[in-house]
Structure 1
Amino acid sequence: MAASESKVTRFYNQEDVQQILHLAIARQANDKEKEFSYEQLLEIAAELEIPPESLKLAERDWLDKQGEMQQRQAFNIYRQRRFKKRFGNYAIVNSVLILVDLVGGGGLFWSLYILLFWGLGVAFDACNTYQTNSEEYEIAFQKWHRKHQLKQTFNTVWNKFFIKA
């Protein structure tokens, strides 16, 4: 049966080839410390008949994606820290309100309403913070990204004109 399988010519589309090679490289590279030089990358591309220009464009796209992923991670950390701060404020204020309600009235009455309604807002905030696949997330990320680019530009100009002078 092995002889008949070797005689059969198989054809794969480009996406299938990419997936097969990706899996093969992943299996071969069990050693996470192993790194490839740019020359080795060029050799692999040459063996696959990929022009150096295409490789350079692909590398540039990959670097752009890596940079965006780092920006998104920083944005997610920022959002999570902001949520944790808001949740801490919610917990502290509501603890004090429950204590005042217990001491002042001998039971829990009005503080539960505040706890529940504010808790609903905190729950919505948690959903918005940890849900990263929505249009609102994308809008918030773009706004945050522009703000940080503007800060970076301002700091560069400031350093160029006032610190080096």
Structure 2
Amino acid sequence: PAARIEMEARAHAARLGLPVGRIGIRAERGNPRMAGFTKDEQYTLMSLWCIFRSPLMFGGNLPDNDAFTLSLLTNKRVLEVLNKSSNNRPLFNDENKAAWAADGSDKKTKFLAVFNKGKQAEKVEVELQQLGITGKFQLIDLWSGKTRTESSTSFAPTINSHGAGLYKIIQK
């Protein structure tokens, strides 16, 4: 089903909370340690939480976190998806790839999250007409902040294994 990736993520979340950064001395299980996820997997978790509009409840030890973890939790562009998106919905979910979309606060803005569940980097192609985007648009990579203007009927970023991309698309 289209919501399989969401169910898998929510089941994982129910067991572990938001497992990024330093898991402190009061952790439910084990000794204090950094989360066992790769950076790509941590981008995936945060992208999933935001595109699902799930409450972000962080259980790690904030003072002991590294700059990367703090950048995940405080990225204002990414948190906009969590706080200001609506009509969040799956576009597709197959064996190795998935995509979710959401509407922004105005009719011209859309959010797109793409996921690579496979074991190697792959392009994850999305037909932009599914989002109501046609012609010229501005594309903002919400993780890197890089912006570019394009005119295309599809978007196909290369996503690392177990990684994600999170984008804001503004119709011009």
TM bracket, shorter-chain basis: under 0.3
- Which has the greater radius of gyration? 1
Q: Which has a greater percent of helix?
A: 1
Q: Which has a greater percent of strand?
A: 2
TM-score by length of 1: 0.22
TM-score by length of 2: 0.21
